[in-house]
Structure 1
Amino acid sequence: MFDTLFPFLGGLGLFLIGMMLLSEGLVAFAGGSLKQILLAFTGKPIKAFASGALITALAQSSTATTVTLIGFVSAGLISFTQAIGVVIGASLGNTATGWIISGLGLKVNLGFYTLPLIGLGALIKLLAPGRQKELGRALAGFGILFLGLSTLQEGMQGLAANFSLAHMPAGGYGSHLLIMLTGLALTAVLQSSTAAIAMTLTALDAGAVSFDQAAAIVVGASIGTTLTGVLVAIGGTIYAKRTAIAYILFNVIAGLLGLLILPLFLKAMYATGSYINVPPGALGLAAFHSLFIGLGAVLCLPFTQQFARWVQRLVPDRAARPQHHLDDSLLQVPALALETTQRTLEELAQRLLNLYQHSLNMSRPSTATEDLQQIETVLDQAYEFVLRIPSTTDTPAIATRISALLHAIDHMQRLRSRLQHQPSADLHDSRYQQAHALATELNTLAQQGLQGQAPEDWLDQIQTRSQALAELLSDVRSHLLAVPQDQGDASRTLRITDAHRWFERSSQHVWRSSHYLQQARQARA
Structure 2
Amino acid sequence: MNADILQVLGGIGLFLFGMQTMTEALRQLAGQRARALLTRFTTTPLTGAITGTLTTAAIQSSSATTVTVVGFVGAGLLTFPQAVGIIFGANIGTTVTGWMVMLLGFKLKIGLAALPLLFAGSLTRVLARGNWARAGQALAGFALVFVGLEMMQAGMAGFQGQVTPADFPPDTLLGRFEMLLLGAVITAITQSSSAGVASTLVLLGAGTISFTQAAALVIGMDIGTTVTALLATVGGSRAMRQTGLAHVAYNVVTGVVAFFLLGLIALPLRDGLMGGDNQAGLVAFHTLFNLVGVVLMLPLANPFARLVERLVPERPGPLSEALDQRLLADPGAAIDAARSCAGAISATLFAALGEALRPGAHPVALQAAVEKTEPALLDLRDYLARIVVPVDQTRPLRRYSALLHQYDHLHRLQHRCRQPERLGPVLADASLRRPALLLGAILRRPPHDDDGARLLRLYRLRRATASRMVRLRRRALSRKAGGTGESARIFALTDAMRWLDRTAAHVYSVARYDALAAQENPEELRIEE
The TM-score bracket by the shorter chain reads 0.7 to 0.9
Cα displacement (A) at 1:200: 0.7
Cα drift, residue 107 of structure 1: 2.0
Is this contact kept in 2: 1:422–1:502, CA < 8 A?
no
Gaps (5+ residues) in structure 2? Answer: 524-529
The partner residue of 1:303 within 297, 300, 312 is 300
Q: 1:463 to 1:156 in 2, by over 3 A?
A: farther
Deviations 1:338-365 (A, max 9, x none): 2443354345435433433332324468
Alpha-carbon shift at residue 473 of structure 1 (Å)? 5.5
State the partner residue of 2:373.
375
* Counterpart Cα distance in 2 of 1:372 and 1:292: 53
Give the AA of the match of 2:261: I
Structure 2 residue 31 is matched with structure 1 residue 31: yes
Partner residue in 2 for 1:287: 284
Pick closer, same or farther for the CA change 1:158–1:469 going to 2, 3 Å.
farther
Residues 41 and 465 (structure 1), Cα distance of their counterparts in 2 relative to 1, 3 Å cut: same
1:419-448: CA deviation from partner (whole Å, max 9, x where unpaired):
244116634655x33344455677889999
Is it true that 1:53 corresponds to 2:53 in the alignment?
yes
Counterparts of residues 127-276 of structure 1 (less than 5 Å): 127-160=127-160, 162-164=162-164, 166-265=166-265, 268=268, 272=271
Q: Distance in 2 between matches of 1:77 and 1:517?
A: 13
Query: 1:44, 1:435 → 2: CA distance?
Result: 48
Partner of 2:330: 333
Task: Report the counterpart of residue 423 of structure 1 in structure 2.
Answer: 421
Q: Which residue of structure 2 aligns with residue 107 of structure 1?
A: 107
Which is further off, 330-339 or 227-236? 330-339
C-alpha distance in 1 between matches for 2:394 and 2:293: 44
- 1:384 match: 382
Mapping 1:399-438, distance limit 5 Å: 399=397, 401-423=399-421, 426-427=424-425, 430=428, 432-437=429-434
Following the alignment from structure 1 to structure 2, what is the Cα–Cα distance between the partners of residues 473 and 210?
87
- Residues in 2 aligned to 1:188 and 1:337: alpha-carbon distance in whole angstroms: 26
Do the aligned partners of residues 169 and 347 (structure 1) sit closer, same or farther apart at CA in structure 2, a change above 3 Å counting?
closer
Which amino acid counterpart does residue 358 of structure 1 have in structure 2?
E
Distance verdict in 2 for CA 1:306–1:344, change over 3 Å: same
Q: What is the CA-CA distance between 1:162 and the residue it aligns to?
A: 4.9
Stretch of structure 1 that moved more, 497-506 or 59-68: 497-506
Contact (CA 8 Å) 1:404, 1:517: kept in 2 or not? yes
Instruction: Name whichever of 148-157 and 189-198 sits farther off.
Output: 148-157
- Which amino acid is the alignment partner of residue 452 of structure 1? G
Distance 1:52 1:397 in 2: 22
| SS at 2:389 equivalent | coil
Q: Tell whether the 8 Å contact from 2:258 to 2:289 is kept in structure 1 after alignment.
A: yes
Q: In the TM superposition, what whole-angstrom CA distance separates every residue of 1:479-514 from its partner, at most 9, and x where no partner exists?
A: 5598699xxx78766754654453354345335545
**Residue aligning to 1:317:** 314
Match in the other structure for 2:527: none
Do the aligned partners of residues 321 and 134 (structure 1) sit closer, same or farther apart at CA in structure 2, a change above 3 Å counting?
same
Q: Partners of 1:223 and 1:113 in 2: how far apart?
A: 34
Structure 2 Cα separation of the partners of residues 163 and 119 of structure 1 = 36
Aligned pairs for 1:116-135 within 5 A: 116-135=116-135
Residue 187 of structure 1 deviates from its aligned partner by 0.4
Q: What amino acid is the match of 1:181? A: L
Return the letter of the residue paired with 1:185.
V
Q: Name the structure 1 match of 2:526.
A: none
1:337 is displaced (CA, Å) by: 2.7
Find the aligned partners of 2:266 and 2:129 in 1 and give their Cα distance: 52
1:86 is aligned to 86
**Post-superposition shift, 1:201?**
0.6
Q: Indicate if the aligned counterparts of 1:326 and 1:340 stay in contact, CA closer than 8 A.
A: yes
1:134-162 Cα shifts (integer Å, max 9, x gaps): 22222221111112111222122224455
In structure 2, the CA distance between the partners of 1:261 and 1:429, relative to structure 1 (3 Å rule), is closer
Aligned residue pairs: how many? Answer: 518
Which residue identity is paired with 1:402? Y
CA RMSD of aligned residues (A): 3.6
Contact 1:164 1:209 in 2 (8 A): yes
Alignment correspondent of 1:357:
354
Please list every run of 5 or more consecutive structure 1 residues that lacks an aligned counterpart in the other structure: none
Separation in 1, partners of 2:132, 2:42: 28
Asked if structure 2 preserves the Cα contact closer than 8 Å seen for 1:445 and 1:462, the reply is no
Asked whether the 8 Å contact 1:269–1:280 carries over to 2, the reply is: no
Q: Return the TM-score normalized by structure 1.
A: 0.86
Q: What displacement does 1:323 show?
A: 6.4
2:9 counterpart residue number? 9
- SS of alignment partner, residue 171 of structure 1: coil
String of CA shifts for 1:103-160, please: whole Å, max 9, x gaps.
Answer: 3311222122233332333343334443343222222211111121112221222244
Contact 2:426 2:496 in 1 (8 A): no
CA–CA separation in structure 2 for the residues paired with 1:241 and 1:135: 33
Task: Give the Cα separation in 2 of the matches to 1:374 and 1:443.
Answer: 20
Query: CA separation of 1:154/1:504 partners in 2, compared to 1, >3 Å: closer, same or farther?
Result: same
Distance change in 2, residues 1:524/1:130 (3 Å): farther
Distance in structure 2 (CA, Å) of the matches to 1:374 and 1:77 = 25
For 2:225 and 2:115, locate their aligned partners in 1 and report how far apart those are by CA, in whole Å.
29
Listed one character per residue, the Cα deviations across residues 289-341 of structure 1 (whole Å, up to 9, x for unaligned) are 12222222222111111101111111111135546533334323323432443
CA contact (8 A) 1:211 1:280 kept: no
One-letter code aligned to 2:106? L
Structure 2 vs 1, CA of residues 444 and 340 (structure 1 numbering), >3 Å: closer, same or farther? farther
Indicate if the aligned counterparts of 2:427 and 2:436 stay in contact, CA closer than 8 A.
Answer: no
Q: Is the 8 A contact 2:52 2:93 kept in 1?
A: yes
When residues 239 and 174 of structure 1 are mapped into structure 2, their CA distance, relative to the original with a 3 A threshold, is same
Amino acid at match of 1:63: S
